[in-house]
Structure 1
């Protein structure tokens, strides 16, 4: 894989889960000069322990093109991980969608060669599907819905449309990303009320999880920065095995030291919309990413073992808790 020696790579959302790991891997595993773009420095402490010779930080606001212009000056490549996660829905939309438009405009002016955008599997309409790839129907546009899925779909459309008029663009669409420092599918699950696990699936139950360990996502990012054939394309990214939601939650039960459900759940602890998510049979076919980018290597067992080790260090796991 290209080690990016002599190349300057900017990473938006560098203080977040995936963005932070992209920065770590670039600094520790390549020769790139890395520019970590963050909203504020307070959440960047995780990156402060990295060697600083090829790492610099810039405070940016995606809503403010002027700060982006300074941040992207001299950059060859961009990894766009940031999205709106704070404030009211209009604030989040502005950061995710309008912020992406601003980034694309500034990247063009700065002469950026390629931009890799982190999207999500949620941009597809998988109703009635048991397996789907990049040719599946897109989520329908809904002007009255400005929540996460519509935000990410709108931002993705902008990125794909920009290819050929500025930097080359590549879109990655990961599934359920978990691992050390993870938010929704790691820390949130390790800290949710234990009684809710009485209503969550067990091994052999539930639909398709489409779990992918964070390092497999970063492998795809690094390959997408360098692979000529990736330009202008979108890629679903999922793990090498195909666990169900029951397997996923049983690994989390193991990390937390929780017993198997007793069969008497407190009905209503897990909302209907979430239960519907865990029932969906739609399974990602990530063959295109495996062929053109990086084949995923981390099984659920391996990923959850690493996550359990981190959870114990971070104070989230039960003493002696395991990933299986």
Structure 2
């Protein structure tokens, strides 16, 4: 049985990742910096991405790390501390502890604004426009340089969503008329599917870090 450490388990996507890992009968550890995440059969560890010393030992005995925690919005300093520096510190600890694989939840916002129609994923160039997306691109670099895996979803919807679905509903209610053409396209993924992709990437056979 693989042991998986999940960060961001109290969040929207992270909570679904925990449930998917439970479904696969993994040994589960949850990293929390504020309040313990209560899950039957899971071990909750305290650690703060902004305090590298607090991460010492959190990856001991861990086979795979699924990193879902992120700072979204806020100050430049907060984004750098959590997303860039915090991820780098966590990856360094994972490598020290001999973690076999790191899977990181990033965001399509690292590409910046654009339609991107007719382009294959490997043709896209990152062009982040905000401090959040820039520091999340830096987090990607830390993971990829260690041989890890990065997933970049755009809009995520489903149970627990407080932004995409509710936001679209508010827009539709406020529109003065109907929408013409329906030609706009958005990349969307249901949160259970994203959780399956993250856990699947973590548990798939392949080379270690």
Q: Is the 8 A contact 2:45 2:58 kept in 1?
A: yes
Aligned to 1:214: 191
Q: Name segments (4+ residues, structure 1) moved above 6 Å.
A: none
Aligned to 1:38: 32
Aligned counterpart for 2:150 among listed residues 145, 153, 171 = 171
State the SS of the aligned residue for 1:132: coil
- Cα 1:230–1:221 change in 2 (3 A) is farther
Aligned to 1:12: 7
Aligned to 1:227: 204
Aligned to 1:160: 144
Q: Is the 8 A contact 1:125 1:138 kept in 2?
A: no
- Cα 1:118–1:203 change in 2 (3 A) is farther
Q: Is the 8 A contact 2:109 2:133 kept in 1?
A: yes
Q: Is the 8 A contact 2:50 2:81 kept in 1?
A: yes
Q: Distance in 2 between matches of 1:127 and 1:221?
A: 25
* TM-aligned CA deviation for residue 226 of structure 1: 2.4
* TM-aligned CA deviation for residue 95 of structure 1: 0.4
5+ residue gaps, structure 2, are none
Moved more, 176-185 or 209-218: 176-185
State the SS of the aligned residue for 1:70: coil
Q: Which has the larger radius of gyration?
A: 1
* Cα displacement string for residues 175-212 of structure 1 (whole angstroms, at most 9, x for unaligned residues): 2111111233135556x5875x3169847425211111
* Cα displacement string for residues 40-78 of structure 1 (whole angstroms, at most 9, x for unaligned residues): 117x4xxx3x4x23x111222111122212322211110
Aligned to 2:82: 95
Aligned counterpart for 1:60 among listed residues 47, 62, 75 = 47
TM-score by length of 2: 0.86
Q: Is the 8 A contact 1:125 1:137 kept in 2?
A: no
* Cα displacement string for residues 191-237 of structure 1 (whole angstroms, at most 9, x for unaligned residues): x5875x316984742521111100111111122012245878xxxxx
Q: Is the 8 A contact 1:126 1:136 kept in 2?
A: no
- Cα 1:207–1:31 change in 2 (3 A) is same
TM-score by length of 1: 0.58
Aligned to 1:265: none
Aligned counterpart for 1:69 among listed residues 42, 48, 56 = 56
Aligned to 1:122: 109
- Cα 1:66–1:148 change in 2 (3 A) is same
5+ residue gaps, structure 1, are 164-168, 233-324
State the SS of the aligned residue for 2:58: helix
